[in-house]
């Protein structure tokens, strides 16, 4: 289970940009900027024992979305720490979701600035 934030109209924006001759690949910068803001906040607020979990927080650079992940093969417990495991008496510590919520104004502004930059390249806008 993953937390998601959806931007209304993002699919239509990608379709419109494509029709205007601007590839959706160009949205990578806007998505990466937004994701990096959340990832930075997530690294500072991750629960710490050794610091390994905080070291795995990263943002993707994709055209269709901004995704922030934590954990991996070396730190397989990231999801359990974040979402909890009631059967094992492990309480949820949703630091990454909270990082997204607490920095929403920042990452939304970064995303909007990236989209505005793209739109300014379209003649007549």
Number of structural domains found in the chain: 1
* Phi and psi at residue 123, to the nearest 5°: -65, 135
What pLDDT is stored for residue 1 in this prediction? 40
CA triple 67-68-69, angle to 5 deg: 120
Q: 99, 54 in Cβ contact below 8 A?
A: no
Statement: residue 2 has pLDDT above 60: no
Residue 94 in domain: yes
Residue 42 in domain: yes
Two structure tokens written together for 111: 């995303």
| Residue-number span of the structural domain to which 90 is assigned | 18-119
DSSP 14-37: HHHHHHTT--GGGGHHHHHHHHHH
Residue 124 in domain: no
pTM (two decimals): 0.82
Residue 8 in domain: no
Residue 22 in domain: yes
Q: 59, 67 in Cβ contact below 8 A?
A: yes
pLDDT in tens, 10-61: 778 777 777 777 766 778 899 999 999 999 999 999 999 999 999 999 999 8
Residue 1 in domain: no
Statement: residue 3 has pLDDT above 60: no
Q: Between 13 and 81, whose confidence is greater?
A: 81
């Amino acid at each position: 289970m993953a937390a998601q934030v959806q931007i209304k109209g993002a699919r239509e924006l990608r379709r419109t940009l494509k029709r205007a001759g601007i590839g959706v690949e160009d949205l990578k910068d806007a998505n990466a900027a937004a994701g990096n803001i959340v990832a930075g906040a997530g690294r500072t607020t991750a629960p710490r024992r050794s610091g390994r979990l905080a070291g795995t927080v990263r943002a993707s650079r994709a055209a269709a979305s901004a995704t922030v992940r934590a954990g991996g093969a070396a730190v397989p417990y990231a999801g359990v720490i974040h979402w909890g495991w009631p059967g094992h008496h492990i309480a949820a510590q949703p630091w990454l979701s909270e990082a997204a919520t607490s920095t929403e104004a920042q990452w939304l502004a970064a995303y909007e600035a990236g989209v505005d930059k793209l739109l300014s390249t379209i003649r007549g806008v």
